[in-house]
Amino acid sequence: MFTCPKCGASAKTRTSVMLSNEVRRSYHQCNNLSCGSAFTTLDAVEHFLNNVLPMKANAVPKGLFPNSNYGEDQLTLSL
Ligand SMILES: [Zn+2]
């Protein structure tokens, strides 16, 4: 939840859209009926707190988990 920058009342987040993998724009509306301001905010990744390496495509061995956990081959109906 965000507070209205004009009156300080709480504001409801109506929707949001991803602008990139690290930035999201959120649309808010003030809950104070006498104010009613609408505004946007930007949420961004500031920095990572650890140094995790990116996961390789075949890092999880086939057959370890059910097919529903492996992406594109989820709906094969072969017997
Ligand atoms: Zn307001």
In a domain, 18, yes or no: yes
CA of 44 from ligand 1 middle (Å) equals 24
Nearest to 62 by CA among 53, 71, 54: 71
Structural domain total, the chain: 1
CA of 17 from ligand 1 middle (Å) equals 22
Inter-CA distances, 39 with 34, 55, 60, 68, Å: 15, 37, 43, 40
In a domain, 49, yes or no: no
CA of 54 from ligand 1 middle (Å) equals 42
Non-local CB neighbours of 1 within 8 Å, separated by 6+ positions: 10, 11, 12, 13
Half-sphere exposure of 55 (CA within 13 A, CB side): 5
In a domain, 8, yes or no: yes
In a domain, 57, yes or no: no
Backbone angles phi, psi at 67, to 5 degrees: -55, -25
Domain of 40? 1-44
In a domain, 70, yes or no: no
79 residues of the chain, pLDDT tens digit each? 889 999 999 999 999 999 998 999 999 999 999 999 999 999 999 988 887 777 676 666 777 777 776 666 556 666 6
In a domain, 34, yes or no: yes
State residue 48's pLDDT score. Answer: 84
